[in-house]
Amino acid sequence: MPRNPQLNANGELQHLLSIEGLPREVLVQILDTAESFAGVTERDIKKVPLLRGKSVFNLFFEPSTRTRTTFEIAAKRLSADVINLNVAASSQSKGESLLDTVANLSAMQADVFVVRHASSGAPYLIARYVKPHEHVINAGDGRHAHPTQGLLDLYTIRHYKKDFARLTVAVIGDVLHSRVARSLIHGLTTLGAPEVRVIAPLTLLPAGVEALGVRVCHDMREGLKDADVVMMLRLQNERMNGALLPSAQEFFMTYGLTAEKLALARPDAIVMHPGPMNRGVEIDSSVADGPHSVILPQVTFGIAVRMAVMSIVAGNR
Amino acid sequence: MKILIKGGRVVDPASGQDKLGDVFVSDGRIVDSFKDKPERTIDAKGLVVAPGLIDLSARLREPGYEYKATLESEMDAAVAGGVTSLACPPDTDPPLDEPGLVDMLRRRAKALARARVYPVGALTVKLQGARLTEMAELAAAGCVAFSQANTPIADTQVLWRALQYAATFGYPVWMRAVDLWLAKEGVAHDGEVATRLGLPGVPVFAETIALGTLLELVRATGTRLHVCRLSSAAAVALMRAAKKEGLPVSCDVGIHHVHLSDMDLGYFDSHCRLEPPLRSQRDREALAAALADGTIDCAVSDHTPVDEDQKQLPFAEAEPGATGLELLLPLTLKWGAERKLPLAKTLACVTSGAARVLGVPSGRIAAGAPADLVVFDPQAPFRVTPEALRSQGKNSPFLGYELAGRVHATLVAGNVVFEQE
């Protein structure tokens, strides 16, 4: 197996492509750095000069609002120049290849590429071809990984629960198609969370998911029992009626998070969701807006985490 | 033309014979000896003399995909790799579903005078799985079997009728066992690696369900069936049982699948995007063992030249396939060495074993057999680099590897068609 392509020869983060394979120290470094940035976002002048003079290209081959916006804010707070490209609507539709698009942007003196792509592994391909001073940050690739989302989820959990060593985490919903679930699971197992459960019908679980280090439950009541953290996953509209699930209503009945089911978790449990939410499908409004919900703080933390990642991979040292 | 191949280690996989000696070639055939002076002598001291390789699946990319490879480049690659006969699947553009196309391909190949080319005709028009091709006309034009290449027939009624029709005339049908619906969108073995990498999976039962259907239809129709590119331990077990039962079936495996597993995908290495997908270590081991015990009749290169642009894509979007004509010999030798097989037995799976499936008299060293021969050094290192490959396809999971086995000379019908400078 070749060397982990996200680390340089000194074991430092060159690109952020996946949480899998990152040493615990690197994860902790990112979370600690994010914590130091949390203050910046509350100041009057919300800027630090760590990326001054650098160009960050937001390269989204798949639509996104939240992730793209928080990356943009994070880069601007680091004083970088940010260029947003909605590639889905430009050169790719004219037949330009992924690597040609990247090569052209590289010729415009890019320093960081923030990449979202519908195909698993696309950021790895880009990372293989960029120049040594250029950095790739995966903003979600297919079903594979969404490492900054995973990191902001870890940040959120650490913020509210302090220690990973005694946590029970329940991840609920469409694990099969979820890059968010994969990234969070890798992060939790690396940081030593002893019990990670995935709760889903068999049709929404990938083959051999246990090998990721999780316990599989099909029953919400069993899976939620004494959980400290409940992570709900988004169910895409097109997967609600078909061969995977009969209907959104039945999914809500069996796997939707309601106050009644949440009562089985620990009294101080937190409820997370990567957004965008389908109220009444995977989560009931009373839970999404209720006292256990940390869904909006997740978004805020996302900015600090993305600042941390960009400053670590590309910051002026 | 009389040629003497002198003092080599003569290996005949058909009889298992392996001894030092001379091989006499006269008028395109192997003969016991001749009295007069040979017109040419090839010094084979320290080298192996064996029947030329017979590759049951090599894509030459003509017609239609000349930008990926041409007949010239791929026929050069074949003889440089010691391949003297090859069967080409019908997935050209247009597919080999008309006698005219087959005729043209055979003429072009014949004019190049390198390896023998055996076209495999399309079983259904445009490989669409709806209407039967004119099999009798295609056979008259030179098709040796009928196949769907990598495109399965979804409609079981059509599949049944196609097998029945082929059986009427005794034509062999070569099929991959793959369930269209279960394999749809899948790009990797449905297991832990695909789950980790977030790649859509192809479950093992996509192969075994289709294989079960095919075998049941063989029971019903008596068609001679050759199953192409087995990929799983479960499929091997089904084939073993089918042979024991006495069904008229044979099967092959891609040489890459004997050596690689889904672990080799690493960080989305698109060179490992193959059809069928590389499966688990356990499956790989079962394939390698079944090739040794004869359950699998032969190994094929499944040569698929793909241009660089089509491989420099995210894994799932990359075009499947690997170049293979020049790697078939070294990779077969590697497999034989790993399983500690005698050289004659090792070579059988790319010579006599394949000849039996194809129904041709080559693949052996015996008086009267066609003088299709390869002279090679089994120990000489072969470093796999784009420059070292004559094929236009440089796409190989083995790029950068050092393999053993280098061809010195290749003869087809008694003519020297390749010599190492």
- Closest by Cβ to B268, choosing from A20, A98, A125: A125
Residue spans of alpha helices (H) in chain A = 24-38, 66-77, 98-106, 122-129, 147-161, 179-190, 220-224, 248-255, 259-262, 285-288, 295-314
Cβ contacts (< 8 Å) between A121 and chain B: which residues? 197, 199, 267-268, 314-316
Per the model's pLDDT, the better-predicted residue between A94 and B196 turns out to be: B196
CA distance B229 to chain A (A): 23
The DSSP output letter for B264 is G
Q: Inter-chain contact B195–A207, Cβ cutoff 8 Å?
A: yes
Q: Inter-chain contact B268–A145, Cβ cutoff 8 Å?
A: no
Distance, CA of B135 to CA of B246 (rounded, Å): 26
Cβ contacts (< 8 Å) between B203 and chain A: which residues? 207
pLDDT bin (cut points 50, 70, 90) of residue B97 is: very high
Q: Which of A17, A20, A119, A204 to mutate: most B Cβ within 10 Å? A: A119
Phi and psi angles of residue B3, each rounded to the nearest 5 degrees, phi first: -125, 135
- Chain A, window 171-200: residues with a beta carbon less than 8 angstroms from a chain B beta carbon: 179, 182
Buried b (16+ CB within 10 A) or exposed e, A128-137: eebeeebbbb
Q: Average model confidence (pLDDT) for chain B?
A: 97
Among this protein's residues, is B155 annotated catalytic?
no
- Closest by Cβ to A2, choosing from B194, B195, B266: B266
The Cβ of residue A300 has, within 10 Å, a number of other Cβ atoms equal to 16
Distance, CA of A15 to CA of A60 (rounded, Å): 17
pLDDT bin (cut points 50, 70, 90) of residue B62 is: confident
Distance, CA of A185 to CA of B95 (rounded, Å): 46
Distance, CA of B264 to CA of A288 (rounded, Å): 43
Cβ contacts (< 8 Å) between A143 and chain B: which residues? 198-200
Asked whether the predicted pLDDT for residue B14 surpasses 90, the reply is: yes
pLDDT bin (cut points 50, 70, 90) of residue A89 is: low
Q: Average model confidence (pLDDT) for chain A?
A: 93
Cβ contacts (< 8 Å) between A98 and chain B: which residues? 313-314
The contacts of residue A51 (CB under 8 Å, 6+ apart) are A75, A78, A79, A80, A111, A112, A310, A311, A314, A315, A316
CA-closest candidate to residue A234, choices A285, A291, A293, A274:
A274
pTM of the complete model: 0.95
CA-closest candidate to residue A149, choices A194, A183, A117, A176:
A183
A81-86 vs A55-60, strand pairing mode: parallel
Q: Inter-chain contact B266–A1, Cβ cutoff 8 Å?
A: yes
pLDDT bin (cut points 50, 70, 90) of residue A64 is: confident
pLDDT bin (cut points 50, 70, 90) of residue B331 is: very high
pLDDT tens per residue, range B351-381: 999 999 999 999 999 999 999 999 999 999 9
Distance, CA of B13 to CA of B355 (rounded, Å): 11
Token duo for residue A14: 């060159």
Distance, CA of B137 to CA of B143 (rounded, Å): 9
- pLDDT value, residue A317: 56
CA distance B202 to chain A (A): 10
Q: What is the mean pLDDT of residues A120-133?
A: 95
- pLDDT value, residue A97: 86
Cβ contacts (< 8 Å) between B192 and chain A: which residues? 207-208, 211
Is the C-alpha dihedral spanning B327, B332, B333, B335 positive or negative?
Answer: positive
Q: What is the percentage of chain A residues whose pLDDT exceeds 70?
A: 97
Q: Which of A62-71, B16-25, B184-193 has the lowest mean pLDDT?
A: A62-71
Distance, CA of A254 to CA of A169 (rounded, Å): 19
Is residue B63 reached through a cis peptide bond, with omega within 30 degrees of 0 on the bond before it? yes
Q: Which of A96, A144, A185 to mutate: most B Cβ within 10 Å? A: A144
Q: What is the mean pLDDT of residues B204-220?
A: 98
Q: What is the mean pLDDT of residues B144-158?
A: 97
Asked whether the predicted pLDDT for residue B24 surpasses 60, the reply is: yes
- pLDDT value, residue A273: 98
- Chain B, window 310-329: residues with a beta carbon less than 8 angstroms from a chain A beta carbon: 312-317
Q: Inter-chain contact B316–A119, Cβ cutoff 8 Å?
A: yes
Q: Is A202 on the interface with B (CB under 8 A)?
A: no
Q: What is the percentage of chain B residues whose pLDDT exceeds 70?
A: 100
- Chain A, window 126-145: residues with a beta carbon less than 8 angstroms from a chain B beta carbon: 141-145
- pLDDT value, residue A255: 97
Distance, CA of A273 to CA of A79 (rounded, Å): 29
- pLDDT value, residue A92: 62
Q: What is the mean pLDDT of residues A88-113?
A: 82
- Chain B, window 75-134: residues with a beta carbon less than 8 angstroms from a chain A beta carbon: none
- Closest by Cβ to A120, choosing from B190, B198, B263: B198
Asked whether the predicted pLDDT for residue A3 surpasses 90, the reply is: no
The DSSP output letter for A13 is B
Answer whether A126's CB lies under 8 Å from A113's CB: yes
- Closest by Cβ to A120, choosing from B199, B203, B263: B199
B40-43 vs B116-122, strand pairing mode: unpaired
Distance, CA of B416 to CA of B421 (rounded, Å): 13
CA distance B198 to chain A (A): 4
Q: Inter-chain contact A208–B312, Cβ cutoff 8 Å?
A: no
Answer whether B27's CB lies under 8 Å from B362's CB: no
* Distances from the Cα of A38 to the Cα of A25, A67, A156, A225, B58, angstroms: 20, 18, 12, 32, 60
Token duo for residue A89: 């609507």
Q: Inter-chain contact B198–A143, Cβ cutoff 8 Å?
A: yes
The one-letter code for the residue type at A214 is V
Asked whether the predicted pLDDT for residue B146 surpasses 90, the reply is: yes
Q: At CA A287, angle to CA A283 and CA A290, rounded to 5? A: 150
Is residue B94 reached through a cis peptide bond, with omega within 30 degrees of 0 on the bond before it? yes
Q: Which of A191-205, A230-244, A274-288, B44-58 has the lowest mean pLDDT?
A: A230-244
Distance, CA of B341 to CA of B289 (rounded, Å): 11
Cβ contacts (< 8 Å) between B197 and chain A: which residues? 120-121, 144
Q: Inter-chain contact B314–A212, Cβ cutoff 8 Å?
A: no
Beta carbon pairs, A and B, within 8 Å = 76
pLDDT bin (cut points 50, 70, 90) of residue A91 is: low
Q: What is the mean pLDDT of residues A6-28?
A: 94
Distance, CA of A191 to CA of A25 (rounded, Å): 9
- pLDDT value, residue B67: 86
The DSSP output letter for B270 is G
